[in-house]
């Protein structure tokens, strides 16, 4: 059995649905990783249990290679699972999902190797591993510790599968563009033109001044919402933070950012991401103050 | 005595932490079990990526012991008629003793202040009961480089329980019986249901043996645990894993004790059942520079380079955790990942070579060297100009040529920072510059670029360092030092964010190998300092920076020499002599000739080892002489004014010793060692601070002359042990 890319997605959906996950859709604004989806970033906050799986198209303009590189993509696809709280057998569950994909861990070198995930822009970090399959990283496995600068409880397990990598492995392809997206339909057919045009845009055509304005405008809007619009604006504000983050990524690829500028822009995104997280927690789980306490 | 077995099973712990965690477990257990009077012996620890195991012999119950409990003071404990008071009765009741065992005695021996006390015989508790209290202490007692919240709770009064990775099982047995311990869930900051309870159930390998439906197994002892793990593809003893790896690397044709040794060591803690897999790299990559191949292999896949096969194709060995049947898959997978990486490398390498390094120098203007110190372009221009100036003033033709080459190398030294290869593989900086430079520049220049980041730019062990490489490396490091010292970034305490100490050590190591004077540190530092001032438009030249860098480098020199195994007091003695001459001359004489410093240290070390007792005696004498002479300006010795024979004898001996060439430290030191008897006799027979001022001045002059005899080589007083200190008197 050699699953196509869409077969892998369907299998993971079935697997995680059977294990109690809600099957969601990817975020509908540009993001660099499944972690940035509100289904992860905001759901891991607060006490409520949550189990979800979804495919996240992830745009990383600096990784664009015009479709020339067999391993690098402007846009790749992650399958993201959040299990909150993390079950005691979460590693075994994950290994079972590999078996469902047709990878028997006994036939391969499957290793959990230390790799602690951190996103300075989101004020988020976690403890965990990269999962290596015969030396190839196919999954990032993280116990979230903080998001938006807030220490988490309960702790969520995040499993992020690199779908292209897994497909390349299963189909024994050295070039991602030779992967079968569906039986008889190649990744090249589906995605190559997009890789070329979006790489070209990010590296050559993107208007630096415009993106600088987009960045500032998006952050300004998020800030305005958080500071002046009262409660229940966190989700809307978060969309603007994501837009700012994407504008930043485009600028980064275009070479429009100096080293010091870069640090200060990341810091601005982080401040607002933390503001969103705090506002969301306040909306959803307000601290009950007991009146009459002396 | 009976066996205590404790296994903590967890999700994969970072391999580099494991041996340290095992050490912590062993020492903490030994001290806690000792305090609990369980007489721990034969304490051993083992580990894999998924478990820490401790086994020890313990008494089956604590020793009994006597304790003294203290109660109220005598005047409260006895009533007016001398009977025990209510307070004393209360104390006896609280201590569960009868009134007749109470006594009055001083708390502090010899004090008149009496208190009531009760001696109690405490029965030792059975070991399992004690261990139940010890286990939480052990679990809580680890220091992790990084801890995680995993929603756990420990009932030890401290509550929320963080660990390195989630704990999944615990085996705790004393004499075959379970010692209870429970880790609870932590929900909303409070204790909830049980999560992991100790028992006798351990776990085997995650995947092997194939087909097993249950990976767990019950044990009654360490022997059963070890045997059970062995049957289940877990090699518990790290030494056995390392041995297995070594043997397999040898079979693969590799050298396990060569350059790969540290890597192999790292491998042994990555998996519970190590299996070495061997892969071959397609010949199309065989012409990539070795540096690139090795970097991809070692840094990105933790793989070791093996000798090439008979067709010249590069081969590698990598670690895996598979059984024999899966070796092929593991090896092919590694090859695939490595080839993908090499394809990237191939692309970047070919792209980079379409342009010369020279053409990239201007792009360095966009890269900040350090905030407040300009760009890398500024840095290379500064360094080049200083090297060109050194070439102009060099008196020997080869030196001038070397400095001209160094100037070229310095201008190109950072150009590889803007190549695609170094962006992709930052650890190759310098080396890539060297590889690219080799296409258009002389090998001397290319080598200098390739080696200039290294601690000491020696091509390979045993080869001599070239002046071009040494000058390039020293100027780069010195430029970094001068810049950071100028903006107040000198290292303090443990804070050294720019690795300036390492840079300083690099300079020192290089100069120790070089002809003295080939790189004139003071001059070069001075020129760099001026170049900074010019470039950055700073009005003042900041000369104080140079003095501080001199002191900093002498301190680094001390460190390097100590790491080479020389006795600290010998180093101090030689460096103190240099410090003295530096103070006189206003130049840092230690840094002017580093090989001579080391040579003097070698000579003194050798003589000190041969004639330990003589030099210890001299050290005391010199120390005394120094204290007496103090800052008194040395007069001229007048042989006619001597009154004692011992004075005359010492002076004659000094004159004799002065006849040895001062440039030969060994001869001079030996001559001084021969003075021992005269020196001792002098101090025994003469009072230096005589009432007659003329006599006193003459004796002081004599002592100064004695001290000066070896001051050029070493300040022997530094050999004196601190305990041998005597007050300054005559």
Please, what is the Cα angle at A286 between A283 and A289, to 5 degrees?
150
Q: Which residues contact B508 (CB under 8 A, 6 or more apart)?
A: B553, B556, B557, B560, B594
Q: What's the CATH code of the domain at B13? A: 3.30.70
Does B526 map to a domain? yes
Q: How far apart are the CA of A146 and the nearest CA of chain B, in angstroms?
A: 10
Q: What is the DSSP string of B503-564?
A: HHHHHHHHHHTS-TTSS-HHHHHHHHHHHHHHHHT-SS--THHHHHHHHHHHHHHHHHHHHT
Among B122, B137, B164, the domain-final residue is B122
- Residue B381 pLDDT greater than 70, yes or no: yes
Handedness of CA B501, B504, B509, B510 (dihedral sign): positive
- Residue B459 pLDDT greater than 80, yes or no: no
Structure tokens at B618: 């001299």
Distance CA A137, CA A112 (A): 10
Residues 143 through 202 of chain B touching chain A, CB cutoff 8 Å: 146, 148-151, 165-166, 168, 186-189, 195
Q: What CATH number does domain A5-202 carry, 3.30.930.10, 3.40.50.170, 3.40.1080.10, 3.40.50.300? A: 3.30.930.10
Q: Cis bond leading into B209, ω under 30°? A: yes
Please, what is the Cα angle at B671 between B666 and B673, to 5 degrees?
95
pLDDT digits (tens, 9 = 90+) for B321-346: 999 999 999 999 999 999 988 988 88
Better pLDDT: B663 or B672: B672
Residues 259 through 278 of chain A touching chain B, CB cutoff 8 Å: 259-260
Q: Which residue of B has its CA nearest to A176?
A: B340
Distance CA A61, CA A56 (A): 15
Average pLDDT for B114-125: 89
CB contact A287 to B (< 8 Å): no
B531 and B634 assigned to the same domain: no
Does B295 map to a domain? yes
Under 8 Å between Cβ of B348 and B424: yes
Does B362 map to a domain? no
Across the interface, of B318, B343, B371, the residue whose CB is closest to A70 is B343
Measuring CA to CA, which residue among A276, A285, A289 is closest to residue A227?
Answer: A276
Q: How confident is the model at residue B99 (pLDDT cuts 50, 70, 90)?
A: confident
Q: How far apart are the CA of A153 and the nearest CA of chain B, in angstroms?
A: 7
Residues from chain B contacting residue A47 (CB–CB below 8 Å): 188
Under 8 Å between Cβ of A135 and A141: no
CB contact A48 to B (< 8 Å): no
CB contact A288 to B (< 8 Å): no
> Could you give the percent of chain B with pLDDT greater than 70?
97
Under 8 Å between Cβ of B190 and B145: no
Q: What is the pLDDT of residue B729?
A: 37
CB contact B330 to A (< 8 Å): yes
Distance CA A156, CA A146 (A): 10
The most confident of B27-31, B390-394, B685-689, by mean pLDDT: B27-31
Please, what is the Cα angle at B528 between B465 and B445, to 5 degrees?
35
Domain count, chain B: 5
Structure tokens at B3: 């066996």
- Parallel, antiparallel or unpaired: strands B167-174 and B190-199: parallel
Interface test with A, best of B14, B18, B144, B374 (most A CBs within 10 A): B14
Q: What is the pLDDT of residue A129?
A: 97
Does B572 map to a domain? no
- CB contact under 8 Å between B320 and A109, yes or no, is yes
Name the H helices within B42-155: 74-77, 86-94, 127-140
- Residue B115 pLDDT greater than 80, yes or no: yes
B75 and B21 assigned to the same domain: no
Measuring CA to CA, which residue among B681, B577, B676 is closest to residue B617?
Answer: B676
Residues 80 through 139 of chain B touching chain A, CB cutoff 8 Å: none
Per-residue pLDDT of chain A (294 residues; tens, 9 = 90+): 589 999 999 999 999 999 999 999 999 999 999 999 999 999 999 999 999 999 999 999 999 999 998 888 999 999 999 999 999 999 999 999 999 999 999 999 999 999 999 998 999 999 999 999 999 999 999 999 999 999 999 999 999 999 999 999 999 998 999 999 999 999 999 999 999 999 999 999 999 999 999 999 999 999 999 999 999 999 999 999 999 999 999 998 887 777 668 888 999 999 999 999 999 999 999 986 555 443
Where do the structural domains in chain A lie, given as residue ranges?
5-202, 206-284
pLDDT digits (tens, 9 = 90+) for B517-543: 889 999 999 999 999 988 887 766 678
Spacing of C-alpha A15 from chain mean position: 20
Handedness of CA A123, A127, A130, A131 (dihedral sign): negative
B443 and B511 assigned to the same domain: yes
Q: Of B161-165, B215-219, B579-583, B647-651, which range is least confident?
A: B579-583
Indicate the SS3 state at residue A219: helix
B196 and B106 assigned to the same domain: no
pLDDT digits (tens, 9 = 90+) for B205-260: 999 999 888 999 999 999 999 999 999 999 999 999 999 999 999 999 999 988 88
B169 and B82 assigned to the same domain: no
- Residue B718 pLDDT greater than 50, yes or no: yes
- CB contact under 8 Å between B188 and A143, yes or no, is no
Q: To which residue do tokens 């052990």 refer?
A: B138
Q: How far apart are the CA of B451 and the nearest CA of chain A, in angstroms?
A: 27
Instruction: Report the DSSP beta bridge partners of residue B197.
Output: B182
Measuring CA to CA, which residue among B624, B654, B630, B650 is closest to residue B720?
Answer: B624
Among B318, B352, B386, the domain-final residue is B352
- CB contact under 8 Å between B151 and A169, yes or no, is no
B666 and B719 assigned to the same domain: yes
Residues from chain A contacting residue B189 (CB–CB below 8 Å): 153
Give chain B's length: 730
Q: How far apart are the CA of A106 and the nearest CA of chain B, in angstroms?
A: 5
Among B178, B196, B231, the domain-final residue is B231
Measuring CA to CA, which residue among A139, A43, A33, A129 is closest to residue A84?
Answer: A43
Q: Which residue of A has its CA nearest to B369?
A: A259
Residues from chain B contacting residue A110 (CB–CB below 8 Å): 206-207, 321
B439 and B541 assigned to the same domain: yes
B103 and B219 assigned to the same domain: no
- Residue B629 pLDDT greater than 90, yes or no: no
Please, what is the Cα angle at B520 between B504 and B556, to 5 degrees?
20
- Parallel, antiparallel or unpaired: strands B114-122 and B102-106: antiparallel
Q: Of A59-68, B558-567, B690-699, which range is least confident?
A: B690-699
Residues from chain B contacting residue A106 (CB–CB below 8 Å): 207-208, 210, 323, 326
Residues from chain B contacting residue A156 (CB–CB below 8 Å): none
Name the H helices within chain A: 5-18, 38-41, 90-100, 163-171, 187-200, 208-228, 234-254, 259-284
Distance CA A25, CA A77 (A): 12
CB contact A145 to B (< 8 Å): yes
Residues from chain A contacting residue B368 (CB–CB below 8 Å): 259-260
Q: What is the pLDDT of residue B626?
A: 85
B217 and B284 assigned to the same domain: no
Q: Which residues contact B152 (CB under 8 A, 6 or more apart)?
A: B160, B161, B162, B163, B166, B167, B183, B184, B185, B186, B195
B395 and B253 assigned to the same domain: no
Q: How confident is the model at residue B722 (pLDDT cuts 50, 70, 90)?
A: low
List the domain range (segments joined by +) for residue B98: 68-122
Residues from chain B contacting residue A136 (CB–CB below 8 Å): 333, 336-337
Structure tokens at A249: 């990524």
Q: How far apart are the CA of A30 and the nearest CA of chain B, in angstroms?
A: 25
Q: How far apart are the CA of B416 and the nearest CA of chain A, in angstroms?
A: 18
B378 and B477 assigned to the same domain: yes
How would CATH label the architecture of A206-284?
Up-down Bundle (1.20)
Does B576 map to a domain? no
Q: How far apart are the CA of A69 and the nearest CA of chain B, in angstroms?
A: 8
Does B579 map to a domain? no
Q: What is the pLDDT of residue B627?
A: 86
- CB contact under 8 Å between A113 and B344, yes or no, is no
Under 8 Å between Cβ of B306 and B254: yes
Across the interface, of A111, A135, A169, the residue whose CB is closest to B271 is A111
**In 3-state terms, chain B is what percent helix, strand and coil (to 5)?**
55, 15, 30
- CB contact under 8 Å between B318 and A174, yes or no, is no
Q: How far apart are the CA of B149 and the nearest CA of chain A, in angstroms?
A: 7
Q: What is the pLDDT of residue A215?
A: 97
pLDDT digits (tens, 9 = 90+) for B62-74: 988 888 889 888 8
- Residue B723 pLDDT greater than 60, yes or no: no
Distance CA B39, CA B57 (A): 8
Q: What is the pLDDT of residue B516?
A: 85
pLDDT digits (tens, 9 = 90+) for B252-299: 999 998 888 889 999 999 999 999 999 999 988 988 988 889 888 988
What phi and psi values does residue B209 have, to the nearest 5 degrees? Answer: -65, 150
B505 and B651 assigned to the same domain: no
What phi and psi values does residue B167 have, to the nearest 5 degrees? Answer: -85, 135
- CB contact under 8 Å between A135 and B344, yes or no, is no
Under 8 Å between Cβ of B648 and B702: no
The region, left, alpha or beta by phi > 0 then psi within -120 to 50, assigned to residue B181 is: beta
Q: How far apart are the CA of A169 and the nearest CA of chain B, in angstroms?
A: 8
Residue B300 carries which DSSP code?
I
Distance CA A125, CA B293 (A): 33
- CB contact under 8 Å between A114 and B15, yes or no, is yes
Under 8 Å between Cβ of A35 and A41: yes
Q: To which residue do tokens 């001051």 refer?
A: B711
Beta-carbon count within 10 A of B474 CB = 25
pLDDT digits (tens, 9 = 90+) for B509-519: 999 988 888 89
Q: How confident is the model at residue B666 (pLDDT cuts 50, 70, 90)?
A: confident
CA separation (Å) from B209 to A135, B14, B206, B232, B273?
Answer: 21, 24, 9, 6, 11
Tally C-beta pairs within 8 A across A and B.
110
């Amino acid at each position: 059995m050699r699953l196509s890319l869409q077969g892998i997605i369907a299998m993971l959906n079935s697997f995680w649905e059977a294990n109690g996950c809600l099957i969601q859709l990817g975020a509908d604004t540009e993001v660099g990783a499944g972690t940035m989806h509100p289904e992860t970033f905001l759901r891991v906050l607060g006490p409520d249990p949550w189990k979800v799986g979804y495919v996240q198209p992830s745009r990383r303009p600096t990784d664009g290679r015009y479709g020339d590189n067999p391993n690098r993509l402007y846009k790749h696809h992650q399958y993201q699972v959040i299990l909150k709280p993390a079950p005691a057998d979460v590693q075994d569950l994950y290994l079972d999902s590999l078996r469902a994909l047709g990878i028997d861990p006994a036939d391969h070198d499957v290793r959990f190797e230390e790799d602690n995930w951190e996103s300075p822009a989101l004020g988020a970090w976690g403890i965990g591993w990269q999962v290596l399959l015969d030396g190839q990283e196919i999954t990032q496995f993280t116990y979230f510790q903080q998001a938006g600068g807030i220490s988490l409880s309960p702790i969520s397990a995040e499993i992020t599968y690199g779908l292209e990598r897994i497909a390349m492995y299963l189909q024994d392809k050295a070039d991602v563009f030779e992967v079968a997206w569906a039986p008889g339909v190649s990744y090249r057919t589906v995605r190559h033109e997009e890789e070329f045009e979006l790489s070209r845009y990010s590296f050559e055509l993107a208007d630096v001044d415009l993106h600088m304005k987009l960045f500032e405008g998006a952050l300004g809007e998020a800030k305005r919402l958080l500071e002046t619009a009262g409660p229940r604006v966190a989700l809307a504000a978060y969309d603007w933070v994501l837009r700012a983050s994407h504008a930043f990524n485009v600028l980064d690829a275009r070479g429009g950012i100096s080293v010091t500028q870069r640090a200060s822009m990341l810091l601005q995104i982080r401040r607002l991401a933390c503001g969103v997280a705090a506002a969301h927690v306040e909306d959803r789980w307000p601290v009950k103050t007991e009146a009459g306490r002396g | 005595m009976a066996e205590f077995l404790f296994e903590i099973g967890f999700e994969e712990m970072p391999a580099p932490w494991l041996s340290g965690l095992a050490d912590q477990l062993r020492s903490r257990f030994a001290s806690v079990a000792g305090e609990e009077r369980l007489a721990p012996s034969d304490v051993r620890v083992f580990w894999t990526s998924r478990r820490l195991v401790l086994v020890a012999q313990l008494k089956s119950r604590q020793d009994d012991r006597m304790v003294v409990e203290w109660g109220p003071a005598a005047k409260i404990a006895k009533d007016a008629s001398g009977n025990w008071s209510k307070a004393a009765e209360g104390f006896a009741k609280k201590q569960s003793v009868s009134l007749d065992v109470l006594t009055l005695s001083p708390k502090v021996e010899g004090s008149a202040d009496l208190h009531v006390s009760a001696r109690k015989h405490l029965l030792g508790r059975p070991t399992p009961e004690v261990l139940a209290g010890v286990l939480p202490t052990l679990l809580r007692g680890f220091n992790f480089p990084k801890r995680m919240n995993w929603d756990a709770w420990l009932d030890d009064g401290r509550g929320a329980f963080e660990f390195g990775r989630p704990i999944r099982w615990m085996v705790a047995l004393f004499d075959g019986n379970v010692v209870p311990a429970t880790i609870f869930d932590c929900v909303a900051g409070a204790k909830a249901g049980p999560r992991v309870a100790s028992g006798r159930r351990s776990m085997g390998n995650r995947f092997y043996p194939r087909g097993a439906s249950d990976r767990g197994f019950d044990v009654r002892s360490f022997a059963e645990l070890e045997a059970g793990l062995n049957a289940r593809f877990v090699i518990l003893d790290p030494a056995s894993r390392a041995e297995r790896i070594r043997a397999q690397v040898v079979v693969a044709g590799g050298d396990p004790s060569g350059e790969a040794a540290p890597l192999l060591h790292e491998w042994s803690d990555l998996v519970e059942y190590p299996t070495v897999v061997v892969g071959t790299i397609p010949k199309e990559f065989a012409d990539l520079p070795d540096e690139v191949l090795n970097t991809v292999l070692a840094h990105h896949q933790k793989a070791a380079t093996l000798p090439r096969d008979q067709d010249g194709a590069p081969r590698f060995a990598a670690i895996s955790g598979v059984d024999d049947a899966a070796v092929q898959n593991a090896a092919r997978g590694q090859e695939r990942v490595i080839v993908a990486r090499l394809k990237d490398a191939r692309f970047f390498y070919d792209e980079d070579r379409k342009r010369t390094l020279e053409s990239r120098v201007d792009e360095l203007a966009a890269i900040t060297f350090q905030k407040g110190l300009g760009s890398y372009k500024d840095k290379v221009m500064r360094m080049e100009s200083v090297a060109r100036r050194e070439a102009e003033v060099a008196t020997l033709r080869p030196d001038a040529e070397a400095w001209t080459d160094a100037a070229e190398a310095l201008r190109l030294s950072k150009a590889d920072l803007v190549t695609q290869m170094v962006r992709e593989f930052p650890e190759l900086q310098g080396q890539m510059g060297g590889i690219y430079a080799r296409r258009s520049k002389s090998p001397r220049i290319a080598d200098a670029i390739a080696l200039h980041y290294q601690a000491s730019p020696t091509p390979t062990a045993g080869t001599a360092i070239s002046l071009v490489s040494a000058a390039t490396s020293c100027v780069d490091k010195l430029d970094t030092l001068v810049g950071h010292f100028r903006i107040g970034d000198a290292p303090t305490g443990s804070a050294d964010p720019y690795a300036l100490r390492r840079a300083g050590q690099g300079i020192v190591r290089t100069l120790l190998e070089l002809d003295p004077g080939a790189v004139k540190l003071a001059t070069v530092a001075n020129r760099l300092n001026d170049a900074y001032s010019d470039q950055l438009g700073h009005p003042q030249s900041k000369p104080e920076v140079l003095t501080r860098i001199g002191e900093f480098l002498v301190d680094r020199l001390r460190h390097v020499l100590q790491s080479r195994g020389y006795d600290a007091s010998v180093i101090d003695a030689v460096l103190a002599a240099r410090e003295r001459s530096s103070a006189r001359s206003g130049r840092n004489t230690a840094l002017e000739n580093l090989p001579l410093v080391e040579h003097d240290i070698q000579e003194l070390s050798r003589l000190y080892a041969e004639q330990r007792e003589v030099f210890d005696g001299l050290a005391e004498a010199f120390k005394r002489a120094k204290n007496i002479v103090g800052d008194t300006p040395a007069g001229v010795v007048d042989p006619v004014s001597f009154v004692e024979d011992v004075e005359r004898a010492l002076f004659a001996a000094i004159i004799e010793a002065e006849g040895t060439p001062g440039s030969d430290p060994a001869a001079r030191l030996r001559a001084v060692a021969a003075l021992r008897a005269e020196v001792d006799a002098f101090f025994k027979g003469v009072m230096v601070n005589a009432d007659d001022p003329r006599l006193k001045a003459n004796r002081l002059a004599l002592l100064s002359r004695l001290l000066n005899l070896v001051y050029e080589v070493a300040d022997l007083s530094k050999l004196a042990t601190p305990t041998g200190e005597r007050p300054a008197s005559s």
